[in-house]
Structure 1
Amino acid sequence: MRVCVSGIALVLAACNAPPPVSHEPPASVEHPVPESELARVRLTDAARERLGVTTGAVVAHRGAARRRMAGEIVVPPGRSVTLTAPVAGVVRARTAPRPGASVERGEDLYVLTPLAPVDRDTRARAAREVEAAEATLAAAEARLERTETLAQSRAGSRRAIEEATAARAIARADVDAARARARSVRSTPLLADVRMRVTAPEGGVIARVLVVPGQSVVAGAPLVEIAAVADLWVRVPVPSAELATLDSEASATVEPLGVGAGSAAEARPVAGPLGADPVLGTVDRYYALTEGSFTPGQRVLVSLASTSLTETRAAPFSAVFHDAAGSAWVYVVEEDGVYHRARVDVVGRDGELAVLARGPAEGTEVVAVGAAEIYGTEFEPGH
């Protein structure tokens, strides 16, 4: 009886429950346009001739599969030089070197004033040297005076006068040197009176500056690091599970991040330092750049060749263009003078062909020259 009453109560509660509240969707898209219904562009014969529009076909492509990985531009081992102080001293510079600045071979970077040995009673010794030099000078002048007197009375020779004159000149030079040393001891008692030029052993870019002008350094202290950027490498951390699937002798394609594939550069494999990351499970592979403009530390996208062959499609490389968001497109020819956009995914380049992972079917005719101009007619300036 209790079970029946409880069941009836539950049924009545469910009947009296409020209806579920409908929630408004957080976003809505009005008039969505699929890519298959993008705008069509019509050009007259005169416009096509003026723009120089030519077409090409999407063809079948059979080649090595490509694997895209992140890489980093690095300075090759042995091409980074750290200049050190040959002796202890004080660093001076007319213009202090700055990181990132270019330097030429033999260019002056610093002037090093060596530190003189610290002896006891340095000032007293300097004063004694001055007094001794002055006494020697006085004796030399007196000797010259006596020699000249004897020569006048025909008791001396001309040679004696010359020797006495030379002794006086040497004594005067000793006095000048002793006085200069005394002044140096009074102003900078620990600095020598010589200067050493620190020059760049080779051209490159200043990577690090480790001292400032006026700083005292010990012998062997690092002053500045110069990186030779004429020949750069690319370091690619490759997952260890994929090492066997990559062609170790094939060249790689290096592309800056955020830039179209037209800025890609070729790089050849080279033997580099052994490096691995046990946490990420990667092994470093190195490639030497043969062209392009890159900076040490720059992150890049590297396309590596695989040992397996794939069947895919390819379009003329000049047919591919990129919009403001970085998406790749081609213009498909529907009929003479009528074109519409089609999205493509470019995975590599083979000569004058852009290898596609997605795009129009084989045999489709696309605009090979003039795609960017047609894109400009599809949108008003500013898009």
Structure 2
Amino acid sequence: MNISRNALPPIFFALLIVGGCGATWWLLLAHSSGAGKPPPVNPAVVAHPIKEPQLNTIALSDEAVKNLNLQIAAVERKSLPRVRVYGGEVMPAIGKSVIVAAPLTGTLRAAADAMPRAGEAVALGRVLFELLPLVTPEGRANLAAAKIDAEGQVKSAQTQWEAAQIALNRAKKLLAGEAGSQRAVDEAQAHVDLAKENLDAAKARAAVLDKVAGELDDGTAAPIPIAAPQPGLLRSVSAMNGQSVPAGAPLFEVVNLDSVWIRVPVYVGDATEVDTAAKARIGNLTARPGKYEHAARPIAAPPTANAASGTLDMYYELDNRHAGYRPGQRVGVSLALAGAADSLTVPWSAVIHDIYGGTWVYEATGPREFVRRRVVVRYVIGDAAVLAAGPPAGAEVVAAGAAELFGTETGFSK
């Protein structure tokens, strides 16, 4: 069907009229539906909003200020060493745990005093067992092999001790010439001490075997005393009275805990920030910030890491004669970070904690007026608290008596 040119304009105008009417109708419906909705209602109405500092303002009388004996200190910006606290684990020092084995095949009997027990303290040279050697052709062959092995261990220990002495002398010369460090000297001295202990143990074993060999040749074999090679604690006892043991069977283990190692897992992202030459401070897991009493020096140890947790281990040696830490015990370790930083500081005594764990200080805004300000403590070093956020430098805060002010404000004062 053909549409003439004269018919197009009327049809076009009709379509425009219909579209305009539809749009007008839609707008009227939308306006009527919106007009019927009620206005939104606020969930809460606060008649007089009050800011947090207005709630924490205390005005004291002259008599109250005198009775409280408040001491004021200024917020200062200082350059202090940076520290960070990690968790550590106590472990026996390498070389301080010795397993004693039977030198020959024979029968054990307890020493005259009593049967040794695990956890018991023993002195150097204390006889724990006596071994009655079993004299057989096989036993004689084992004795000859053990004697040759003992002589080889003596020579090896002697060489290690001499090498450790040379390294110690070199470290001392470098330190005297200001080209070395005290840490290198301490590590070299520790290697010398360990090598000397190994040499003494090897010589003692060789002497026992020489004595037994001579007695067997004369036909007068006597019981062989099995003594503790070092002072310490019996970590384990693997033999019983009257037990027959072969040569090389482990009998007991002695661990010396006068010095222990502290293993500290450090996140790999933090490892570059830690000052590996600085001493660490050790304390209990429940120790208050800044109360890590024992110092531990860094040591060179076999490198270890944990791929699952993304940590690497740092090792420190701690004098444990008075600390009393036990292997496997978890401790808090405060590590020094490389470089100092300028930070806001306040006396640690000025910081108080509320029941929600929030930290606050009282700023003196007038002769008898104090305002409780919220602070964020980054870390504590000594008697100073380093702040991540708080009052500006120069502000005056209550250094002594903040707890009494908090009690006055909350109504829990005496």
Pairwise TM-score range, normalised by the shorter structure: 0.5 to 0.7
Unaligned runs of 5+ in 2: 1-49, 137-220
- 5 Å-filtered alignment, 1:240-319, equals 240-265=268-293, 266-289=295-318, 293=323, 294-319=325-350
Three-state SS of the structure 2 residue aligned to 1:261 is: coil
* C-alpha distance in structure 1 between counterparts of 2:115 and 2:371, whole Å: 59
Alignment match, 2:388: 357
Does residue 97 of structure 1 match 2:117? yes
Q: Comparing both structures, which one devotes a greater share of its residues to helix? A: 2
Three-state SS of the structure 1 residue aligned to 2:98 is: strand
Does residue 80 of structure 1 match 2:97? yes
Alignment match, 1:59: 76
The more displaced of 302-311 and 33-42 is: 33-42
Q: Please say if residues 89 and 263 of structure 2, whose CA atoms lie closer than 8 Å, have aligned partners that are also in contact.
A: yes
* C-alpha distance in structure 2 between counterparts of 1:197 and 1:304, whole Å: 43
Task: Tell me by how many angstroms 1:260 deviates.
Answer: 0.9
Change (3 A) 1:270 1:199: closer
* C-alpha distance in structure 1 between counterparts of 2:319 and 2:74, whole Å: 31
Deviations 1:261-291 (A, max 9, x none): 1421443322222222334343322223468
Change (3 A) 1:55 1:81: farther
Q: Please say if residues 210 and 223 of structure 1, whose CA atoms lie closer than 8 Å, have aligned partners that are also in contact.
A: yes
Counterpart AA for 1:252? A
* C-alpha distance in structure 1 between counterparts of 2:352 and 2:225, whole Å: 57
Q: Please say if residues 104 and 200 of structure 1, whose CA atoms lie closer than 8 Å, have aligned partners that are also in contact.
A: no
Q: Please say if residues 348 and 384 of structure 2, whose CA atoms lie closer than 8 Å, have aligned partners that are also in contact.
A: yes
Task: Tell me by how many angstroms 1:351 deviates.
Answer: 4.3
Corresponding residue to 1:227 among 238, 243, 255: 255
Does residue 368 of structure 1 match 2:394? no
Change (3 A) 1:279 1:43: same
Query: TM-score under structure 2 normalisation?
Result: 0.51
* C-alpha distance in structure 1 between counterparts of 2:300 and 2:388, whole Å: 31
Deviations 1:282-327 (A, max 9, x none): 3322223468834332223334333354332111234345678876
Task: Tell me by how many angstroms 1:94 deviates.
Answer: 2.8
Does residue 106 of structure 1 match 2:162? no
Number of aligned positions between the proteins: 273
Three-state SS of the structure 2 residue aligned to 1:244 is: helix
Query: TM-score under structure 1 normalisation?
Result: 0.55
Bigger-Rg structure (1/2): 1
- 5 Å-filtered alignment, 1:327-366, equals 329-335=360-366, 342=373, 344-366=375-397
CA RMSD of aligned residues (A): 4.3
* C-alpha distance in structure 2 between counterparts of 1:39 and 1:345, whole Å: 17
Task: Tell me by how many angstroms 1:238 deviates.
Answer: 2.7
Change (3 A) 1:96 1:114: closer
Three-state SS of the structure 2 residue aligned to 1:232 is: strand
Change (3 A) 1:371 1:194: farther
Three-state SS of the structure 2 residue aligned to 1:273 is: coil
Task: Tell me by how many angstroms 1:346 deviates.
Answer: 3.9
- 5 Å-filtered alignment, 1:116-265, equals 117=134, 194=223, 196=225, 198-199=227-228, 201-203=230-232, 205-206=233-234, 208-211=235-238, 213-214=240-241, 216=243, 217-265=245-293
Aligned-residue sequence identity (percent) comes to 33
